[in-house]
């Protein structure tokens, strides 16, 4: 089971949802992290990138009303990339090479804040690498929506580990340790 699941914010901050145009030819997955280019276009993070945004869904603009609605409810003429239905770690959108100027499909989600917590099943069994299931350790991502279990270390990395999820022993709880605060 891939993907990250938002568990809430320890300070009670409720995230404000917003959307951004997906960068040309970018692939973004629900339950994954996003970074931004200088032009404010969204792309999936890779290992070592600073994290800005958490992806929850994909939106198109209705040509008649001008309002946004989910790609899953859109007519095929409203987008020209490849949409794969599904939840966290499965649902994805692959933008075309002209998405920024043509259909302008958007990713909806929220900016990652201090105190946000996410749960995820990493790419290998928790505890295989020393610290991968322990508070006080850090780890990187294998891709935008999968935690890399074997990068657990005491030195800073993309995510801070908070221990095993009390609701599912195959998952750990993480927060973003390396945030992209400016675009």
Give a yes or no: residue 155 inside a domain.
yes
Give a yes or no: residue 99 inside a domain.
yes
pLDDT at site 62: 79
Out of 83, 111, 139, a domain closes at: 111
- In 3D space, the residue among 30, 29, 34, 9 whose CA is nearest the CA of residue 111 turns out to be 34
Out of 86, 111, 136, a domain closes at: 111
Assess whether 102 and 20 both reside in one domain: yes
Assess whether 85 and 151 both reside in one domain: no
Q: Rounded to an integer, what distance in angstroms lies between the CA atom of residue 8 and that of residue 146?
A: 19
pLDDT at site 89: 87
pLDDT at site 1: 55
Q: Mention every residue, 6+ apart, whose C-beta is less than 8 A from residue 101.
A: none
Q: Is the pLDDT of residue 175 over 70?
A: yes
Range of the domain at 72: 14-111
Q: Is the pLDDT of residue 183 over 90?
A: no
Report the percentage of the chain scoring pLDDT > 70: 98
pLDDT at site 63: 75
Tokens 């030195």 belong to which residue? 155
Report the number of distinct structural domains present in the chain: 2
Q: Phi-psi bin for 11: left (phi > 0), alpha (psi -120 to 50), beta? A: alpha
Assess whether 100 and 40 both reside in one domain: yes
pLDDT at site 181: 73
Assess whether 52 and 126 both reside in one domain: no
> Tell me: the pLDDT tens digits for 41-70?
999 999 889 999 999 999 998 777 878 899
> Tell me: the pLDDT tens digits for 68-121?
899 999 988 899 999 999 988 899 999 999 999 999 999 999 999 999 999 999
């Amino acid at each position: 089971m891939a993907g990250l699941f938002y568990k809430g914010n320890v300070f009670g901050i409720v995230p404000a949802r917003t959307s951004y145009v997906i960068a040309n030819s970018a692939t973004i997955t629900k339950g994954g992290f996003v970074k931004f280019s200088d032009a404010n276009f969204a792309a999936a993070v890779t290992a070592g990138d600073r994290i800005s945004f958490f992806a929850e869904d994909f939106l198109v603009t209705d040509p008649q009303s001008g309002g946004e609605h989910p790609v899953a409810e859109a007519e095929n003429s409203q987008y020209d990339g490849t949409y794969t239905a599904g939840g966290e770690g499965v649902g994805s959108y692959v933008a075309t090479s002209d998405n920024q100027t043509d259909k302008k499909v958007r990713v909806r989600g929220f900016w990652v804040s201090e105190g946000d917590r996410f749960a995820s099943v990493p790419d290998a069994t928790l505890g295989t690498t020393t610290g991968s299931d322990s508070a006080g350790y850090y780890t990187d991502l294998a891709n935008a929506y999968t935690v890399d279990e074997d990068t657990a270390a005491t030195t800073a990395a993309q995510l801070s580990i908070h221990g095993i999820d009390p609701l599912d022993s195959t998952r750990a709880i993480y927060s973003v340790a390396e945030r992209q605060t400016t675009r």
